[in-house]
A and B are shown apart, each in its own frame.
Chain A
Amino acid sequence: EAGVTQFPSHSVIEKGQTVTLRCDPISGHDNLYWYRRVMGKEIKFLLHFVKESKQDESGMPNNRFLAERTGGTYSTLKVQPAELEDSGVYFCASSPGQGYEKLFFGSGTQLSVL
């Protein structure tokens, strides 16, 4: 079974540019999460999809971040325009259903904004 896949693994962009990160969850997983770790800080929750609906986006830093989940399958996280403080590792995770489940994390996208 394929795990959670994230593209690209690394992205280097200049301040003011736009970047789109993609996450392919494990097939059949309804829950999809985005997390972020900035340098020297802990991993922080960004948002949670249940199928194609945003369940909780309380962790999104500001309106420069836009997340979508097309048809309840893959998800994209767009940063527009990117700022220096957006640099970090963006993780996606998925899980099957409701209640406690094991979260399966992808390997992350390392985003560097110069």
Chain B
Amino acid sequence: AQSVAQPEDQVNVAEGNPLTVKCTYSVSGNPYLFWYVQYPNRGLQFLLKYITGDNLVKGSYGFEAEFNKSQTSFHLKKPSALVSDSALYFCAVRDRGAGNMLTFGGGTRLMVKP
């Protein structure tokens, strides 16, 4: 069975500082990996995905994520955090060979303070 772990319930960072939101995954085959963001009282918005190729993936709003196959990780990063980045972030995995089931991590709340 596939699974996703987001080890931090909350990440606090000062505005202008770099941020990292951690994600590790477990799948039996090759994964698609995703990051989504959820603002209060809203649905999930797609940020970026890893399919294949370059391990550094760039997405919306200046976010990027680094795929590390040996560590089975897909950490979300941003060089300079904004207060408006404060939201709930979800990592998700989809095993290409397992019926396209999409599994989410528990979410990490990012708090960016001025």
Determine if chain A interacts with chain B: no
List B residues at the A interface (Cβ < 8 Å): none
Q: List chain A positions with a Cβ less than 8 A from chain B.
A: none
